[in-house]
Structure 1
Amino acid sequence: MVTYHISYEAENHYDQVVQEALFSFLVIPCYDITQQVVAERIENSLDIPMYRSKNVFGFETLNCRVAQPFSDFKLQVTCTVSKDEKRIVLTGEESLPLEEERKIWQSSDFVVDHYLYIHQSDLTHLAADQIPPSFLYQGHQGLFEFATALNQGVYGMMEYAPGATTAQTKATDLLTQPTGVCQDYAHLMLGLLRHNQIPCRYVSGYLNQGQDFLGSAQMHAWVEVRIPKLGWVGFDPTNNRMADENHIKVADGIDYSDCSPLRGYIKPPGSNKTEHTVQVVVQQ
């Protein structure tokens, strides 16, 4: 069991006074079979009530309405999370025999059940003629083996470069200009998996900052792949590793647009600057 102390801060600075605003934050680690939140504290600079709701994928959001003039708003979330590494799938040893796995994966029931995660989104779409042959499924491979090879391939192809892309950068652009950050690595891997009709989803969360992993300074992104019998298995193409006890999950969805840490509406509209600060420390 590994225990983390996590701190997330978002500071919004507005060029003109805001009269009214709605904010929704998706930053609290979720509960699943591998992790649980054992303590948390939520504060904001305007001392207004925060209320909780769940998004369409069932993940908890923090929401508030500001009905007073302001030009700065800060949210701070601190929590303690325990990870159970024994319940994380890290190998394909328990995979089904190849023919049995393929029969399930290619069945109409499996495709219908996971269609949401097979269908390409605008951010993950790739044209068939763009994709190198090495990124196409080979019939002799199990899904775990193929996903592992894609994880390594995306890592080897991309160059980690903060500031080179935006939240709207598409996977198709990354094949010609393979630079970006964790969300770009994730979108490219999602696009390649979905082109091969393999269900997969975008994951947002936090990463242990004590291991020198790429992407740990802010909220991180990785990929989960649905493999018969194994379930949803996490891969981190930014670091060419499995998503393991170092990864603390917040939410998942089709792509980044489902997992953005902050959504908001301000009145009147205007320019602003948002700064995010993340700390992830292992508790001894």
Structure 2
Amino acid sequence: MAKATKKQALGRGLSALLKDPNNDIQSATDKNADKVVGHIVELDLNAIEVNPFQPRSNFNDEALLELASSIRELGVIQPITVRKMDFNRYQLVSGERRFRASKLVGLETIPAYIRIANDQESLEMALVENIQRQDLDPIEIALSYQRLIDEIQLTQEKLSDRVGKKRSTITNYLRLLRLDPIIQTGIRDGFVSMGHGRALVNIDKKQDQIDLYEKIVGDNLSVRETEKAVKNYQEGKDLSKNPNEKTKEVTPIFAKDSVDKITEYLSTKVEVKASEKGKGKITIPFHSKEDFQRLKKLLTGG
């Protein structure tokens, strides 16, 4: 407890240093910058503004209230990260949930790490740090990857190194952005999983994507069933049919007259089945090695 009190007192001392107009630190080379940058400082909540580069757009109200309750009891355990904007003005880089929850419980200050960064560096820090979080939904992650590519001009290879993910993983997330916005919202809201989305993205027409998405939700299709439905779609089959329903096979009219003749010729019951499109198979049973040799001789002449 004494160690925590000492650290808090140190943070307040650094906070006082930052409020001194004669010590307005603007760069890492300024006087006393080494005492502040990278250290935990108690900052006034009203001196901090929300980061416009924040990739996270969904904040679960219930989870936020739970965090607020924890902060009320234990305080802010993990400091937020901010960048210095102007004299006694800061902008969030990461920790917006902690920032919001602290405001909810009426705190006046919050422990923070101070960084000095330009807009591009701030964007990159916010995006990369948020990508590492466990509670981002797949679409938020995909959007963060896309922003790093578009606004920081990172290639997928460099992005892979920066965030510590395989390039194939990044590609799979980015492909989700090709889904219709309705389906993206469904993934964010938990109606379907990323696995469903990865299957649906193989359908080019947005309306067909939506039709199958509605079937997934309505029939509670698994990812495997969805993959099968997409395969059926690619083969020209009706999307409205259950993907697990087997294509009905019947003896085609064009073969009915020949079945009896083949059966008589081979002296064994032959089955001919075909789908509505005419694709099918002939089944010729045999009952022993000798029977097989007999059929082979009849069919091949040798």
> Aligning the two structures, in what range does the TM-score lie when normalised by the shorter sequence?
under 0.3
- Between Structure 1 and Structure 2, which shows a larger proportion of helix residues? 2
TM-score normalised by structure 1 residue count: 0.20
TM normalised by structure 2 equals 0.19
